[in-house]
A and B are shown apart, each in its own frame.
Chain A
Amino acid sequence: MESVRSDTAAPPAGDSALTVKILVAGGFGVGKTTLVSAVSEIRPLRTEEALTEKSIGIDDTSAVASKTTTTVAMDFGRITLPNGLVLFVFGTPGQDRFWFMWDELAKGALGAVVLVDTRRLADCFASVDYFERRGVPFIIGVNRFDGAAPHTADQVRDALDLPSDIPVVSCDVRDREDAKQILITLVEHIMRRMS
């Protein structure tokens, strides 16, 4: 039934847009939105998703009036590459309770940058766990905060118990060149995983 097989193959190229998505994760206040701003051609936008009882996954909704929701915000930027590709960089919601939103973000993502503040290393554990379990390629970006003692890449890698092939890059997320380099390092890492 070859004709059937060809019908169920990848959608025709004309139907898809060359948009790709990269995620920036990490603890609250680690610089995710700053990194997004540093590379985005537009002021970072904010989109919101309404949380419903279903997304929260709790049984007791007595505290929530019917059809009433709260929202979770995500900041994102857009980069139109000279070759026509459109790259979206999404900052993940900082709070752990918004896991349901992570699934939506991770779906179809090329990979992720997990930003780390070495003074609050534990804040990134949840992100690292998530991407490891989902098989989403990721790298670690160590944001250089004033007043943070410098750590070597190996110290951070050991502390996070990461395999040696996962890049750990020091960066200043406010710096556009640093921000570009960290995205490039991620995509190079994804290519290495393929070969």
Chain B
Amino acid sequence: MDGTEGEGPHGTGWYDDAAGPVVRPYALTRGRTHYEGGEFDLVALIVTAEAAPEADGALPHAPWAPEPEHEMILDLCRTPLSVAEIASDLELPLGVVRVLLGDLLDHSLIGVRRPAPVAQFPSERVLKEVIDGIRAL
């Protein structure tokens, strides 16, 4: 390695200024790049779960120390917010946000509303509603 960042084997960089800065976003997730429990769609809506009633110290799971970013997500999602918007608000890459959301879901701190499967099962009614809605803007 000659130390020239961005230079590929043939001397042509596969990333450049337009691609943005080189970052180390996964430090925040302690190197985890994937959530094993499933996927968070870009436009799935995340909503903070109602505070669970205090269970007299009999919690089944081990204590968990959330990162400040976990708390920020819980704060943001008091009103339902899409995964893409959370990533944008936190200025974190989508992959990182998905890992953080996975942590929160594992601890039942958020609910996930998946997008309506309109693309797979298009419904004329939904499409008409979209058209009417855009017209009314």
Q: How extensive is the interface on chain B, given as a class? A: 35 or more
Shortest distance in angstroms between A137's beta carbon and chain B's nearest beta carbon? 9
Contacts of B113 in A (CB 8 A): 15-17, 19
Chain B: minimal CB distance from A7 (Å) = 16
Complex Cα–Cα for A79 and B137 (A): 9
Cβ B124 vs Cβ A50 within 8 A: no
Of all chain A residues, the one with the shortest Cβ separation from B123 is A194
Asked whether A60 lies within 8 Å of B84 as measured between CB atoms, the reply is no
> Given the complex, which residues of B lie within 8 Å of A64, measured CB to CB?
5
Residue of A nearest to B6 (CB): A63
Provide the bound-state CA to CA distance between A74 and B8, in Å: 25
CA distance A191 to B70 in the complex (A): 41
What chain A residues lie within 8 Å of B88 (beta carbons)? 45-47, 76
- Asked if residues A194 and B124 are in contact (CB atoms below 8 Å), the reply is yes
- B14 at the A interface (CB under 8 A): yes
Q: Does A88 reach chain B (CB closer than 8 Å)?
A: yes
Whether A8 sits at the interface, judged by CB under 8 Å, is no
B130 close to A70 (CB less than 8 A): no
B residues within 8 Å of A by Cβ?
Answer: 1, 4-9, 14-15, 18-26, 31, 33, 41-45, 80, 82, 84-85, 87-89, 91-96, 113-122, 124, 126-137
